[in-house]
């Protein structure tokens, strides 16, 4: 990494490309890159379409500020964690090592917003620039390989149809199950919380619904979210929906196995069925709401942009609120002493919550 940031030779340099004349942003409305137009809204991400072959022997230079990250071909190559301004010079040949693509995307990102005019990004060449060289690098928008929007549409359609099918199956096989409105109203009757055995049939169906919904949202975060997510397109484009769904189901199995072990070690097996039932039903409410929001985001570009930009906060609320209500109901129905109950809750619910928050955020 250190060699990547070798300072260019100390000699006169002449600009051959001014990046301020070609900034791009990703527009969720059109699902494509469009020219950046200065406005009152400070951009967090700016892109530039670059042909490395045109600038071999040249140097990329820009003024760095605290928080700035630079991506080359969707790979993080520079990050500033210091306070002061720094003039950074990186040879194009170093950046393009191992890259065979004729056109790449250069991106600057700052979570607090980019100071566009202060960035002063440009490509410079050492010494004098000849008229022949100048004519060979005209300003033009290079072709940009865009993510196919149809993949996300297919994933969302599959998820909606699968959830609807599972809801119909659950109503046919388990007609006496508590309704969704009763769950929202926190009406936890005995048939809601007490299952026959480790998990009842209706809970298994709801586990699949939960897995499908959260997998769809994670896929949206990686492939169809806000502008920041497009920085890592190259790293996440290979992650398929089926891979995410497999891990969602596996995490559910792991959680219930963990609950079983905690209950047996602490001699609280009488809480296990109540805990599993409430866990599934609370996230069942959250997941159906999450899927509804995803459907709305596919119909409205403004909702899609908001959802992408706020996806981190949504994940926190998604995990914390159901666990909060779960803990309240465990306290209400357990009948255990306060100190003993606190240790059980910390082990069985709070610890997995912290692990999930650390992993997802």
The token duo for 152 is 């996300």
pLDDT band at 215 (very low <50, low <70, confident <90, very high): very high
Most confident of 30-44, 181-195, 272-286: 272-286
Q: What's the average model confidence in pLDDT over 296-301? A: 81
Most confident of 29-33, 218-222, 244-248: 244-248
Rounded distance between C-alpha atoms, residue 222 and residue 344, angstroms = 35
Q: What's the average model confidence in pLDDT over 194-214? A: 77
Percentage of the chain surpassing pLDDT 70?
A: 73
Has residue 130 got a pLDDT over 70? no
Buried b (16+ CB within 10 A) or exposed e, 36-74: beeeeeebbbbbbbbebebbeebbbbbebbebbbbbbbb
Rounded distance between C-alpha atoms, residue 277 and residue 274, angstroms = 5
Half-sphere exposure of 36 (CA within 13 A, CB side): 25
Has residue 70 got a pLDDT over 70? yes
Q: What's the average model confidence in pLDDT over 138-164? A: 66
Has residue 192 got a pLDDT over 50? no
Q: 271 or 211: whose pLDDT is higher?
A: 211
- Whole-number pLDDT of residue 256: 85
Q: 126 or 283: whose pLDDT is higher?
A: 283
Rounded distance between C-alpha atoms, residue 160 and residue 245, angstroms = 14
Q: 20 or 287: whose pLDDT is higher?
A: 287
pLDDT band at 211 (very low <50, low <70, confident <90, very high): very high
Has residue 238 got a pLDDT over 90? no
Query: SS3 helix, strand, coil % of the chain, rounded to 5?
Result: 55, 15, 30
Has residue 236 got a pLDDT over 80? no
- Whole-number pLDDT of residue 314: 85
The token duo for 30 is 């059109």
User: Which residues belong to CATH 2.60.120 in the chain?
Assistant: 3-135
Q: Is the pTM of this model over 0.85?
A: no
pLDDT band at 138 (very low <50, low <70, confident <90, very high): very low
- Whole-number pLDDT of residue 341: 66
Protein fold of 3-135: Jelly Rolls (2.60.120)
Has residue 336 got a pLDDT over 80? no
- Whole-number pLDDT of residue 230: 47
- Whole-number pLDDT of residue 55: 81
| 159-188 residue pLDDT tens | 999 999 999 998 888 887 766 666 665 555
Q: Which of 63-67, 239-243, 334-338 has the lowest mean pLDDT?
A: 334-338
Q: What is the mean pLDDT of the chain?
A: 75
Has residue 334 got a pLDDT over 80? no
């Amino acid at each position: 990494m250190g060699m990547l940031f070798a300072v260019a030779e100390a000699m006169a340099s002449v600009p051959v490309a001014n990046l301020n004349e070609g900034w791009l942003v990703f527009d969720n409305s059109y699902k494509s890159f469009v020219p950046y137009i200065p406005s009152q809204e400070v951009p967090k991400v700016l892109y530039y379409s670059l042909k490395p072959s045109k600038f071999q022997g040249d140097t990329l230079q820009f003024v760095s500020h605290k928080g700035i990250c630079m991506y080359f071909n969707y790979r993080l190559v520079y990050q500033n964690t210091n306070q002061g301004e720094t003039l950074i010079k990186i040879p194009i040949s170093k950046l393009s090592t191992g890259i065979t693509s004729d056109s790449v995307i250069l991106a600057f990102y700052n979570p607090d917003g980019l100071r566009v005019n202060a960035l002063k990004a440009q490509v410079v060449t050492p010494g004098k620039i000849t008229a022949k060289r100048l004519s060979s690098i005209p300003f033009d928008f290079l072709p940009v390989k865009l993510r196919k929007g149809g993949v996300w549409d297919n994933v969302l359609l599959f998820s909606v149809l699968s959830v609807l099918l599972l809801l119909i199956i659950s109503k046919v096989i388990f007609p006496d199950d508590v309704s969704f409105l009763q769950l929202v109203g926190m009406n936890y009757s005995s048939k809601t919380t007490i299952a026959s055995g480790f998990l009842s049939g209706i809970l298994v169906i709801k586990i699949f619904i939960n897995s499908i919904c959260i997998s769809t949202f994670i896929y949206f975060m990686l492939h169809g979210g806000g502008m920041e997510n497009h920085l890592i397109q190259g790293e996440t484009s290979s992650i398929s929906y089926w891979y995410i769904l497999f891990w969602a189901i596996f995490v559910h199995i792991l959680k219930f196995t963990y609950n079983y072990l905690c209950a047996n070690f602490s001699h609280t097996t009488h809480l296990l069925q109540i805990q599993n039932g409430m866990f599934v039903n609370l996230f069942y409410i959250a997941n159906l709401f999450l899927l509804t929001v995803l459907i709305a985001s596919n119909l409205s570009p403004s909702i899609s942009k908001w959802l992408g930009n706020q996806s981190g906060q949504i994940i926190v609320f998604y995990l914390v609120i159901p666990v909060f209500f779960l803990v309240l109901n465990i306290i209400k129905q357990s009948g255990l002493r306060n100190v003993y109950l606190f240790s059980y809750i910390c082990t069985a619910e709070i610890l997995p919550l912290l692990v999930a928050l650390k992993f997802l955020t």
